[in-house]
Every structure is written in C-alpha cells, then in structure tokens.
Amino acid sequence: MLHLPLLVLSLVIATLYSALFHLLWGRTLKQLFIYWLAAIVGFGIGQVVASACSWRGLLIGELHFLAASIACWLVMAFARRLEL
C-alpha cells in the first residue's frame, strides 16, 4: 500500500535524479521532461519489483532505495539512448 510520505519521498528523489541526469547529459527542456517521466517510471518499477521479491537491500522505511535508484537510472539511460 502506498503511503503519502513514501510517494512524496519517491517523487522528490526521482526528480533530483532526473535533474542530475539532465545536468550531465541533457540539452533541451524537452529532454528534462522526458528524463523526469523516465525517472518516475523507473523509480516506481524498482520499488514494485523489490517489494514483490521481498528484497531487503537498503530500505528507508518501506522505500526500497537501492533497487528503485538503480531502476531509475537504467530507465533514464534507456530513454536517453532512444533519443539518439
């Protein structure tokens, strides 16, 4: 079950990751929006997969921080690759 603090923390972290990704590899405002969407989707996928597998690596409350972060960066890299 999603709790509001977990959702807010996830959105904040995904937004920070997308901003950093754009700072390193982005050029346009359109790319920033694409990376932001990719970050949110990737973070969510990582959270769901880690929860479903009952993986207990680096938790912040109920947030599977490590798995969600890895998935977030992979999806953003995939989105960047699709743009080229």
For residue range 60-76, list pLDDT tens digits in order.
Answer: 888 999 999 999 999 99
Rg of the chain over Cα atoms, rounded to whole angstroms, equals 13
The model carries a pTM of 0.91
**In the prediction, which pLDDT does 67 show?**
95
**In the prediction, which pLDDT does 84 show?**
58
Low-confidence stretches of the chain (pLDDT < 50) are none
Q: Which domain holds residue 66?
A: 4-83
Decide: 83 and 73 in contact? Cβ < 8 Å. no
- Structural domain count of the chain: 1
pLDDT in tens, 52-64: 998 888 888 889 9
Torsion over CA: 5, 30, 20, 65 (sign): positive
